[in-house]
């Protein structure tokens, strides 16, 4: 029996690896990153799943508590999706934040490593999902879930984290990007308004604004996707993911996102010798 369970996990491992490799190749082939950092980020993304399972019971209790006030099931479900989406995006983000450590040169690096972290998260999630489906419905029952998880849910993680990664990149290089926007005479109403009220550095406000904006957008997209899944609105899921695919490619190809703001490794050493 233990040997069969091992065999099940091995097959689920292979199945989960297929979409991770394909999506990783599609988004990372244009500008390959350092292999050791890619591996570390992917593994970090895998481990970021663990707390979600630890707090799963608490999430259910929170949902029951909210429902006890008489709110509709749809309202409770949306709040739950927002909470879970917030956790997942923050968990994947912290992996990127740990890996970063001033290693990123541009916004594109931030997007790519966010994608790698998301693939690690989705990889473990898919293994556990496929294993549960196999035990409940047999090996034949894995065909449709494999297709849906590979094309849908795995990419959805990539999409949400990639968007958050874009805003994290802007926040990470807040100082030079803010100066560029000020020179271009961008309005920056919120940044300037908070600066006048709280007298904080505009760079600090701009950084926090972009972090909050990225998290809010990523979590909202995550919640919308989960609602579509819950309601089986395939007619909305497919265009939703198509838009996400083209948007993510647009951000990765965007000229401004390739602009070098930071120097790493040999680049920094060479500059110091000049």
Could you tell me the end-to-end alpha-carbon distance of the chain, in angstroms, rounded to an integer? Answer: 65
User: Which of these, 238, 237, 98, lies nearest to 168 by C-alpha position?
Assistant: 98
Are 221 and 155 within 8 A, CB to CB? no
User: Which of these, 218, 180, 247, lies nearest to 86 by C-alpha position?
Assistant: 218
Q: Give dist(CA 164, CA 25) in Å, integer.
A: 20
What the block records as the tokens of 217 is: 């957008």
User: Which of these, 110, 85, 116, lies nearest to 20 by C-alpha position?
Assistant: 116
Question: What stretches of 148-264 adopt beta strand conformation (E)?
Answer: none
Burial 48-87, CB ≥16 within 10 A → b, else e = bbeebeeeeeeeeeebeeebeeeeeeeebbbbbbbbbbbb
Tokens 């490619």, located at residue: 249
pLDDT, one tens digit for every residue, the chain (274 residues): 578 888 999 999 999 999 999 999 999 887 777 888 999 999 999 999 887 777 666 776 777 777 777 666 677 777 777 777 888 888 899 999 998 877 888 999 999 999 999 999 999 999 999 999 999 888 888 999 999 999 999 999 999 999 999 999 999 999 899 888 888 777 777 777 676 787 678 888 899 999 999 999 999 999 899 888 888 888 999 999 999 999 999 999 988 888 888 655 444 333 323 3
């Amino acid at each position: 029996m233990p040997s069969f369970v091992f065999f099940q996990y091995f097959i689920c491992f292979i199945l989960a690896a297929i979409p991770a490799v394909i999506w990783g190749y599609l988004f990372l082939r244009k500008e390959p990153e350092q292999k050791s950092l890619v591996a570390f980020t992917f593994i970090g993304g895998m481990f970021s799943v663990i707390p979600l399972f630890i707090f799963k019971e608490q999430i259910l209790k929170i949902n029951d508590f909210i429902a006890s006030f008489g709110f509709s099931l749809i309202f409770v479900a949306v709040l739950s999706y927002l909470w879970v989406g917030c956790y997942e995006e923050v968990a994947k983000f912290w992996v990127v934040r740990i890996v970063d450590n001033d290693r990123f040169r541009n916004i594109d690096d931030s997007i790519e490593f966010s994608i790698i972290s998301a693939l690690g998260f989705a990889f473990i999630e898919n293994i556990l999902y496929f294993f549960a489906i196999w035990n409940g419905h047999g090996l034949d029952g894995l065909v449709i879930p494999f297709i849906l998880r590979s094309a849908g849910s795995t990419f959805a993680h990539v999409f949400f984290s990639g968007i958050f990664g874009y805003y994290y990149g802007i926040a990470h290089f807040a100082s030079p990007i803010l100066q560029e926007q000020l020179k271009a005479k961008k309005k920056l109403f919120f940044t300037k308004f908070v600066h006048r009220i709280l007298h904080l550095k505009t760079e600090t406000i701009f950084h926090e604004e972009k972090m909050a904006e990225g998290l809010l957008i990523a979590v909202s997209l995550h919640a919308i996707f989960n609602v579509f899944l819950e309601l089986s609105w395939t007619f909305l899921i497919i265009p939703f993911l198509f838009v996400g695919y083209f948007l993510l490619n647009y951000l990765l190809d965007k000229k401004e996102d390739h602009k070098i703001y930071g120097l790493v490794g040999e680049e920094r050493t060479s500059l110091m010798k000049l």
